[in-house]
Structure 1
């Protein structure tokens, strides 16, 4: 049977797409690490771990043993990513742990579906005592992060912990100190550092494409009450299931959402804030929650650049975005767009209309209006890069496996995660105390 030219074109297109999607994530990061400028690589030193041509050994003796502690919705998703990279990273998930049996059962079912035999635990201390582990992934509620991470690091286990690091500044510092004292890796789950769109945007920022960064803005808007149903209406489980809504267990919008975007701001500037002011309130959801459903904060950096942030759970029109504004252009990471301040000329008749409008409004008669309102520029910009077909959360585990094998993690990566978590909590203090907050000296690292 002979294929027509049209059929050949479609088949070629399919194969090209298939090849592109199946392309090694490690190879993508390797290309970026090999081709990036010195300035860009300085801002993303973790990429250097992917520049080595040496393939990952497939030997069982070189296999990394990993456990997952916390198998709720996020933990089970991370478990799924770990199972996907078993061959490429030569890892094995050997154990899972959760003190809530239904979550543990779901995670065990996922392992069975993927032909992975695991030992289950309801007490993480028994897990780290009985299993010989190279690494552990912690995805528990926020208040559980610090003591579990410290115990794992002290036991000589490389540790990946979901963001934010901990519920209090003292616990954030304790985790960092344990990392330094143990010499073991502490990686925090800021997956945007492995997202191709963010990496391309950072490359352009570092290479001066948008000029001097003068402001950063971000928002994360949802329209739901963030409350999860209780099994059989068992109110004894309320704080265990809905821990994100209670101040003693979470900082709500700040630790669950903003911390991701604040990390981007620290990444862009390469600096740490010097102060934060903020406000928060319960505007819409009048229930038992004790965290705000609406927040607004402004962080100031040493050079005067500000990171302006707001988040709410009662309107989703604007979704989420991080906007980096520079003297020559703007980058919007989530929408994968870059805009220049000098707009490319419009073609044909539209250009003629623009010229006529300019002649009309630029000539202001004596005694007439002395100003014209500045409206937002209606210009769609351009894509930063082709559509993102990589899972950044999966790629961060590729990095975690590489760091374990190398025995180290870039200091900037740990320090940036540390200061992001710390300043997230200082943002809470700014809201609670109604004043400008600066960082106490004891938290400097």
Structure 2
């Protein structure tokens, strides 16, 4: 795959991403791609705006509005109604949706008004389950932001109600629609980096995560991510993305997790940790090591997928060989002479050198001007139109949410937490 292969700007999910991923041989790891591609011939071609999937957006805060902008880029979805209990956010949402789009302050009123095919839920975490189930009860399909819900039980309830209602439930894990990640997964499955035994991931920021509260507003409404009843903080708002990547590339779920969390920098009355460090153990002794903190952004957001033959860093779009190809001494000398380069010849010196990180440039995994958030909505639109979820997506999301909440429990209790038994079959 070349960089040109990844030019997906404003191009359809089915026409571009699915064709590329199916041809790349990732069917086993990304079954939704192949399934949707195979079903494409049976889905009527879109003729105009009237054929678009009509979405009602619940929650028009920063994230909800970002989703709306991405929905506007798709060829098969449109925002047909917006809803938010907070007037300033609702007004901003209406600016994006347009004055002709109905606006509501009660999601049930929006459901009763009809005219929708599906919901997009971008509300605080503790409201996800209620809004999702209300959508199913109204006969609608649902796209919901990650993480799924505030409790493992509610995550399971969402899955069960989706199956009982026969409706699509898709969760916002956009990395599963990211061509660079799909190419990385293909190369891992092909054995290019050998046996993967460890993944290191981090999501570091340097800000308080606290938003200013306008006069007359409730801090718990504006800063819901900082309170335990509505969020697990770093675990559900950030870690769940990378836990999905870990489960995906390790092709399984953890056997147990240990960790430590603390409020060690932002002592401003928040209830959620501002610093977490966890180890998720997988079968065969494999490990996913995760850290996240809010007072140093040096390493930002990254994953390092480490195998016996190489390393993949999908956030950077690079793959590195563990042992770079060797250059013969005479060949290197000839190259030096041609460049006029003089190389130091060691005669004596230190007997030990620190094992510093490998600094070879690696190889590109492919990059382009596409937006995986838009691509996932095109995938959702096709799933709604066919009435069939893209296979494998919900299982990945459910397991990532369970893993994030299990990590919170391990930190709170200060003990290793085994993978739960009796989870809902996805």
**How far did residue 226 of structure 1 move?**
0.6
Equivalent residue of 1:231, what SS?
A: coil
Deviation of 1:435 after TM superposition, in Å, equals: 0.2
Instruction: Give 1:26-425 correspondences, 5 Å limit.
Output: 26-37=14-25, 40-48=26-34, 49-50=36-37, 52-53=40-41, 56-58=45-47, 62-85=51-74, 88-89=75-76, 91-112=77-98, 117-232=100-215, 234=216, 236-345=217-326, 347=332, 348-349=335-336, 356=345, 373-385=354-366, 387-425=367-405
Change in CA separation of 1:137 and 1:22 when aligned onto 2, cut-off 3 Å: closer
In 2, the alpha carbon distance for the partners of 1:135 and 1:354 equals 65
Alpha carbons of 1:355 and 1:203: their partners in 2 closer, same or farther (altered >3 Å)? Answer: farther
C-alpha distance in structure 1 between counterparts of 2:44 and 2:184, whole Å: 28
- Alpha-carbon distance in structure 1 between the residues aligned to 2:411 and 2:348: 48
* Greater Cα offset, 373-382 or 346-355: 346-355
2: CA distance, partners of 1:104 / 1:50: 36
Q: TM-score, normalised by structure 2?
A: 0.90
Please give the per-residue CA displacement for 1:284-325, whole angstroms capped at 9, x wherever unaligned: 111110111100011011222100000000001111101100
Please tell me the root mean square deviation across aligned C-alpha atoms, in Å.
2.4
User: Residues of 2 paired with 1:349 and 1:422: CA distance?
Assistant: 55
Do the aligned partners of 1:94 and 1:117 also contact (CA within 8 Å) in 2?
Answer: no
Change (3 A) 1:181 1:353: farther
For structure 1, list consecutive stretches of 5 or more residues without a partner in the other structure.
1-15
- Shift in alpha-carbon separation, 1:360–1:390, aligned structure 2, 3 A: farther
Structure 1 residues 248 and 155, CA, compared in 2 at 3 Å: closer, same or farther? same
Distance change (3 Å), C-alpha of 1:353 and 1:439: farther
CA contact (8 A) 1:197 1:336 kept: yes
* TM-score for both structures, normalised by structure 1: 0.87
Counterpart-to-counterpart distance in 2, 1:64 and 1:441: 37
Q: After the TM superposition, which of the residue ranges 269-278 and 426-435 deviates more from structure 2?
A: 269-278
> C-alpha separation between the residues in 2 aligned to 1:120 and 1:405?
24
Structure 2: runs of 5 or more not aligned? none
Tell me which moved more, 27-36 or 394-403: 27-36
Separation (CA, whole Å) in 1 of partners of 2:317 and 2:291: 20
If each structure's helix is expressed as a fraction of its own residues, which one has the higher value? 1
Q: Larger relative CO (CA 8 A, sep 6+): 1 or 2?
A: 2
Give yes or no for contact 1:32–1:47 (8 Å, CA) kept in 2.
no
| Residues 22 and 175 of structure 1: CA distance in aligned 2, closer, same or farther (over 3 Å) | closer
Contact 2:33 2:390 in 1 (8 A): no
4+ residue segments displaced more than 6 Å: 350-355
1:5 corresponds to which residue? none
Describe the shift of the 1:275–1:353 C-alpha distance in structure 2 as closer, same or farther (beyond 3 A). farther
